[in-house]
Amino acid sequence: MKTIKVTELEKKVLEALANEMYAEWCFSDAGLEEVQSETKLPVNILRGVAGSLVKKGLLDIDDREDEGYKNNPNMHIWYLRGAAEGLVEHWVEESDGELEKTILEA
């Protein structure tokens, strides 16, 4: 089991995103709207937290530039990366030991 030290806001955002992961490992169609809906954080705060998580290697944001959504953050897709993938319990269970469960510590 891995433990990741994050801020309270980062924990809130990562947990909200992990709750949106309903399909197979590494699949996502969640983004700003879904995370904002669950966390109730103002969009400007949410974007700042997302930027911090990207720098830490725990989040990737696909701006879908090739689909014409580059300047529309509501259409971006957020992906858990690195140890943050271990926050999704069914991914850990389905990974046959490849993915280690992760705990967040704020």
φ, ψ dihedrals at 64, nearest 5°? 55, 40
Domain extent at residue 19? 2-105
Instruction: Check if the beta carbon of residue 6 is closer than 8 Å to that of residue 106.
Output: yes
What's the confidence (pLDDT) of residue 48?
A: 95
| pLDDT tens-digit map of 18-72 | 999 988 887 777 989 999 999 999 999 999 999 999 999 999 998 888 888 877 7
| pLDDT tens-digit map of 91-104 | 999 999 999 999 99
The residue with greater pLDDT, 23 or 14, is 14
What CATH code is carried by the domain that includes residue 40?
1.10.10.10
Provide the number of structural domains found in the chain.
1
